[in-house]
């Protein structure tokens, strides 16, 4: 039996395929309930230690990933693992970088790139994806 998120839990986004991914802000307390089994942390500097498997993707606030190829690989891995695991994506506030990464996962899941930001804003956070260059990054993902 897969160990994924409860679809009704805070911050959980259901992709069209049914995959559940949790987005969150690291400045907020860890939500109640089960812990992730895998996390991708989108920060400009080394994230705090966690007890589950994780990947740090260097991604400064309000910007884009420092290494686009590493970002594509990390996000593809997160999308693949979400079929059977509790995967979370997180940045400082849980909106800009996290929303951008969630929109990229939506593209991997079949949402047209030009619709992915609206999809994440509708199903995750209406303020997700904060900058014009983050929107452009999603439209061009995974190129």
pLDDT of 142 reads 77
Q: How far is 79 from 49, CA to CA, in rounded Å?
A: 22
Mean pLDDT, rounded, for 123-137:
97
Task: Domains for the chain: give ranges and CATH numbers.
Answer: 20-140 (3.90.190.10)
Say whether the peptide bond before residue 142 is cis (omega within 30 degrees of 0).
yes
Q: Closest by alpha carbon to 24, among 105, 122, 92?
A: 92
Strands (E), 4-128: 12-14, 20-25, 38-43, 53-58, 87-91
- pLDDT band for position 57 (50/70/90)? very high
pLDDT of 1 reads 44
Is residue 68 scored above 50 in pLDDT?
A: yes
Mean pLDDT of the chain: 95
Predicted TM-score (pTM) of the model is 0.96
pLDDT of 95 reads 97
Q: In what order do the strands lie in the sheet with 38-43?
A: 12-14, 20-25, 87-91, 38-43, 53-58
Given a contact cutoff of 8 angstroms between Cβ atoms, the answer to whether 74 and 10 are in contact is no
Q: How far is 136 from 50, CA to CA, in rounded Å?
A: 31
- Dihedral angle computed from the Cα positions of residues 2, 5, 90 and 94, in that order, rounded to the nearest 10 degrees: 160
């Amino acid at each position: 039996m897969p160990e994924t998120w409860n679809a009704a839990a805070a911050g959980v986004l259901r992709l069209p395929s049914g995959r559940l991914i949790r987005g969150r802000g690291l400045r907020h307390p860890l939500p109640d309930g089960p812990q992730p089994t895998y996390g991708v942390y989108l920060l400009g500097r080394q994230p705090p230690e966690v007890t589950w498997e994780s990947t740090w993707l260097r991604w400064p606030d309000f910007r884009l990933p420092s290494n686009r190829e590493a970002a594509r690989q990390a996000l593809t891995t997160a999308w693949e693992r979400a079929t059977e695991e509790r995967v979370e994506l997180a940045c400082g506030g849980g909106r800009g970088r996290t929303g951008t990464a969630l929109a990229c996962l939506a593209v991997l899941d079949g949402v047209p790139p030009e619709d992915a930001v609206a999809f994440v804003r509708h199903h995750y956070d209406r303020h997700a994806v904060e900058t014009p260059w983050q929107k452009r990054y999603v439209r061009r993902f995974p190129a």
